[in-house]
Structure formats: structure tokens, C-alpha cells
Amino acid sequence: MDVRTATEIATRAHQFISKISDILTDEPEFAATKISDLFASDGTQLAADAELLNAS
């Protein structure tokens, strides 16, 4: 895996974690629903990134 790809994966992971953190901080009462929705919308990309990491 090249540095550019690794950097892109790390950036996406960081953005995802930041979104979860924002939900937990700003709207904890809706966390279960919003985090589930976030996994539904970003899950495909996260799974693809995990496959790339496992393959390298």
C-alpha cells in the first residue's frame, strides 16, 4: 500500500470517529439512532478500507 492510500484511509477513519464524537457530545439522546445511520451510510467505505488494510 502506498503512502497516499494509507493517508486517505486514515483521514476517512478520523472523520468517521469525529462524526461519532460530535454526535455523542452534541446529541447524546439520539446517539443510538444517529450512530446506526452513520454506520449505514459509511459502512461500505469502512469495510473496503479494512479489506485494503488487511491485504497489505
Contact 53, 27 (CB under 8 A): no
Q: How far apart are the C-alpha atoms of 48 and 9, rounded to whole Å?
A: 10
How confident is the model over 17-46, as pLDDT tens digits?
Answer: 999 999 999 999 999 999 999 999 998 999
pLDDT given at position 1? 80
pLDDT value of position 8: 94
At 2, the pLDDT band (50, 70, 90 cuts) reads confident
- CA nearest 20: which of 33, 2, 9? 33
